[in-house]
């Protein structure tokens, strides 16, 4: 190989040959030297899956995550019991009376009135869709977003920030991998865990409903609920995972990304609470002055709460509000997703440009 220009010293060459030769016994009997490789390759689209699976495996090592996943399934117990109770009430009048007495203590709105009316008339089949959708919406609207914030807050911060810190981008992008595949791979990790706490419990709830109902004909009246579950899951996952990865890509310290993530949700929630309280107080003052009940107009500041913005869209997805009611919230989620992904792509391209 060398042109004899200035060869290695013979002892060094000998030692080097020895260490890299097949005869070297320092590495055990299996040391075979370098061997060429040929074999079948996996399809190209599986590259993102490799990244996702790695993320899932590494996140799974976190014992707090495992605990949270267990906790995330707790709401299934009482929501499943709710569906079971409803279906039993459809079959047995005694159960209806118990249900009526339980509903009396709850705050009433139009949906509740419809359900109560169904109990009174004994025509539970007509409200089955509403009740199932309401219970599953409760899962998406209240308990699971809280779990989502915690689970994503645990998983997402190191996903990209660690790659930035350890300069792993060069390892990724010197392979036949696009930035899109890299991002989808990282998102896939989050989606897998989010599906585990939202889509899968909700679909399980639906299956419990079908299994506890008098017969399988209920599928005919509730066939759209699984589709709504998938839509609600996408709405829950897409903006939140994009935002979380965006934060992760903005720093090399995962704790900073985690702090930003929790700050967005907590500050947003407090803003909503403060503005809503202020509006309620104002409405009460008006009632005292003018002796008339006025519905408080919803302040634009309440859209700062991502939790409530998500909730409004989930409300629409399950058919409890009109598209018009959810339009602004939906636009906000779209903007968050697009801006987050743009920042994300910019950040992961930046190390390559230097």
Partner 1 sequence: MSAVIDLAEISKDYGHFRALDRVTLQIQSGVTGLLGPNGAGKTTLIKVLLGLVKMTEGRGRLLDFELGRQSRDIRAHVGYMPEDDCFLHGMTGVESVQFVAQLSRLPAIEALRRAHEILDFCGLAQERYRLVETYSTGMRQKLRFAQAIVHDPPVLILDEPTSGLDPEERQVMLNRIRVLARDHGKAVLLCTHILPDVQSISNAVVILARGRVQVSQSLAELSRPAKPSLQVRLLGPSDQFVNRIRQRGIEVDTQSNGSLVLHGALEGMSEFVWRTASECGTGVRSMTPSRNSLEEIFVSAVRGELQNE
Applying CB under 8 A, the residues found at the interface with partner 1 are: 1-3, 5-8, 12-13, 15-17, 19-20, 26-28, 30-44, 46-47, 50-51, 54, 58, 158, 162-163, 165-178, 352-353
The least distance separating partner 1 from the CB of residue 31, rounded to whole angstroms, comes to 5
The least distance separating partner 1 from the CB of residue 190, rounded to whole angstroms, comes to 17
The least distance separating partner 1 from the CB of residue 147, rounded to whole angstroms, comes to 24
Residue 127 is classified by DSSP as: G
The least distance separating partner 1 from the CB of residue 226, rounded to whole angstroms, comes to 32
Long-range contacts from 117-124, C-beta under 8 angstroms, 24+ separation: 119/89, 122/93, 122/96, 124/86, 124/89, 124/90, 124/96
Of the two residues 54 and 267, which places its CB atom closer to partner 1 in the complex? 54
The least distance separating partner 1 from the CB of residue 163, rounded to whole angstroms, comes to 8
Of the two residues 38 and 101, which places its CB atom closer to partner 1 in the complex? 38
Of the two residues 182 and 265, which places its CB atom closer to partner 1 in the complex? 182
| C-alpha distances out from residue 187 to 72, 241, 311, 312, Å | 20, 6, 22, 24
**Which two structure tokens, joined as six digits, stand for 94?**
């005694």
Q: Name the 3-class secondary structure at 197.
A: helix
Q: How far apart are CA 166 and CA 170, in angstroms?
A: 10
Of the two residues 50 and 195, which places its CB atom closer to partner 1 in the complex? 50
Say if CB 173 and CB 352 are below 8 A apart. yes
Q: How far apart are CA 229 and CA 318, in angstroms?
A: 8
Q: How far apart are CA 321 and CA 303, in angstroms?
A: 17
The least distance separating partner 1 from the CB of residue 206, rounded to whole angstroms, comes to 34
Say if CB 114 and CB 133 are below 8 A apart. no
φ, ψ of residue 108 in degrees (nearest 5): -100, 140
Of the two residues 30 and 289, which places its CB atom closer to partner 1 in the complex? 30
Of the two residues 301 and 345, which places its CB atom closer to partner 1 in the complex? 345
The least distance separating partner 1 from the CB of residue 245, rounded to whole angstroms, comes to 16
Cα dihedral value 194, 196, 199, 205, nearest 10: -140
Q: How far apart are CA 170 and CA 177, in angstroms?
A: 11
Length of the chain: 354
Of the two residues 44 and 278, which places its CB atom closer to partner 1 in the complex? 44
């Amino acid at each position: 190989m060398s042109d004899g220009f200035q060869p290695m010293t013979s002892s060094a060459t000998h030692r080097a040959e020895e260490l890299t030769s097949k005869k070297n016994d320092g590495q055990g009997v299996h040391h075979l030297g370098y061997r060429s490789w040929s074999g079948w390759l996996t399809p190209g689209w599986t590259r993102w899956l490799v990244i996702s699976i790695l993320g899932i495996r590494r996140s799974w090592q976190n014992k707090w995550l495992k605990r949270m996943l267990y906790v995330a399934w707790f709401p299934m117990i009482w929501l499943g019991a709710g569906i079971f109770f409803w279906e039993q009430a459809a079959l047995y009048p005694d159960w209806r009376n118990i249900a009526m007495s339980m509903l009396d203590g709850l705050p009433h709105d139009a949906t509740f009135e419809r359900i109560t009316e169904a109990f009174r008339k004994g025509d539970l089949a007509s409200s089955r869709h509403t009740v199932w959708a309401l219970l599953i919406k409760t899962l998406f609207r209240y308990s699971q977003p809280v779990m989502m914030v915690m689970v994503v807050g645990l998983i997402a911060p190191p996903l990209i920030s660690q790659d930035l810190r350890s300069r792993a981008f060069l390892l990724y992008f010197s392979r036949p991998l696009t930035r899109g595949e890299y991002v989808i791979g990282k998102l896939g990790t989050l989606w897998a865990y989010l599906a585990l706490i939202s889509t899968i419990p909700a679909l399980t709830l639906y299956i419990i409903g079908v299994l506890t109902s008098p017969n399988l004909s209920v599928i005919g009246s509730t066939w759209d609920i699984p589709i709504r579950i998938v839509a609600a899951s996408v709405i829950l996952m897409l903006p939140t995972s994009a935002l979380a990865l965006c934060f992760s890509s903005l720093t090399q310290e995962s704790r900073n990304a985690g702090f930003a993530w929790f700050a967005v949700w907590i500050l947003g929630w407090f803003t909503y609470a403060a503005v809503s309280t202020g509006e309620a107080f104002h409405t009460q003052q008006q009632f005292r002055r003018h002796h008339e009940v006025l519905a408080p107009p919803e302040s634009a500041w309440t859209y700062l709460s991502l939790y409530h913005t998500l909730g409004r869209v989930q409300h629409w997805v399950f058919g409890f509000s009109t598209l018009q009611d959810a339009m602004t919230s939906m636009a906000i989620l779209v903007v968050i997703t697009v801006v987050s992904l743009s920042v994300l792509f910019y950040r992961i391209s930046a190390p390559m440009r230097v």
